[in-house]
Amino acid sequence: MIQRLLPLLLAGLLSTPALADENQPEHFSGKPAGTMSEAVANASEANQELAELLDGELSDADMAEVHRLSYTMENALARIHEEVYQLEGTLEEVHLGSEAFDRERVRTNGEAYLEGMAPLLD
């Protein structure tokens, strides 16, 4: 009896992951965010789409669209986080340069800081 059930049991166990995947949401790559400007533009566009979706009742199709958008928003936030992290170091150089009255250090790092922050503030 066990020998007859074993193949069925094994087949059931092996097919379980395939069946579970049918109920899982599809995964997307989202729009890439290679630069701060691109990240801010992508986030702005995705945020607008999300706001429009949240204005009404959320249908199943809307939920799928939110899921798709979330990948783009995650890419954008990751790039923004990385860029801001780097800008913290640049700003620290401005700070330390100002303490030491190192005008060149302040000018060089200050300009880099402003350039890096511009996409967030425009």
72-97: per-residue pLDDT in tens?
999 999 999 999 999 999 999 999 99
pLDDT of residue 27: 77
Q: 3-class DSSP state for residue 1? A: coil
Domain count, the chain: 1
Residue 67 falls inside a structural domain? yes
pLDDT of residue 14: 52
Residue 71 falls inside a structural domain? yes
Number of other CB atoms surrounding residue 93 within 10 Å: 17
Question: Is the entire prediction scored with pTM above 0.85?
Answer: no
pLDDT of residue 10: 45
Residue range(s) defining the domain that contains residue 71 = 33-121
Residue 19 falls inside a structural domain? no
120, 40 Cβ separation under 8 angstroms: yes
Q: 3-class DSSP state for residue 29? A: coil
Give me the residues of the chain with pLDDT under 70, please.
Answer: 1-26
Instruction: Give the integer Cα–Cα distance in Å for 68 and 30.
Output: 7
The closest of 41, 91, 50, 92 to 68, measured between CA atoms, is 50
Measured CA distances, 113 to 33, 38, 76, 82, 102 (Å): 20, 18, 19, 14, 16
